Amino acid sequence: MQSSSSKRDDRDVIDVEVVGQEENAGWRQDGAGQRSTYVHMTSSIAQANRDRSISTFVTFFLLFFCLFRWGFLAGLGFCFFMAIGTGIGIWHNMRCVLEGRKPEPWIARIANWTISMALVAWLV
């Protein structure tokens, strides 16, 4: 009688690789000559939640600033430009991850706030 561990079919496992703590992200070449990307990012959930709440607060502050200073259409324009900038920021961060680099979301957020406010102020 065979045990349950010997019944498993191990043909699905092609190549096993253990990534240590000293290697965070990058490219690796396997035995067949193919390149593969691996990414290992660690962050605290509390830090991510705090960063998200700070960026949300700043975004809403700028939105209400546009609404009260220049009116409804300026607030709507700010939301439109923020949506476009957020999409570009997500695209940039995904490119960084696929290239093996750790993305820095604050640069994209600050640039997005600055450009959106500048466009709204220019159009008003």
pLDDT score, position 41: 54
**In the predicted structure, residue 105 carries a pLDDT above the cut 60:** yes
Contact 41, 25 (CB under 8 A): yes
pLDDT average, residue stretch 102-106: 85
Q: What are the DSSP E strand ranges found in 1-124? A: 25-29, 35-39
Q: Which phi and psi (to 5°) does residue 41 adopt?
A: -125, 135
List b or e across 84-120, with b for residues whose CB sees 16 or more CB atoms inside 10 angstroms: ebeeebeebbeebeeeeeebebeebbeebbeebbebb
Domain boundaries, the chain: 45-123
* Full-model pTM: 0.60
Mean pLDDT of 87-108: 88
pLDDT tens readout for residues 19-51:
554 544 455 555 555 555 555 555 555 555 666
Question: In the prediction, which pLDDT does 76 show?
Answer: 96
Per-residue pLDDT band for 102 (boundaries 50, 70, 90) equals: confident
Predicted confidence at residue 75, as pLDDT, reads: 94
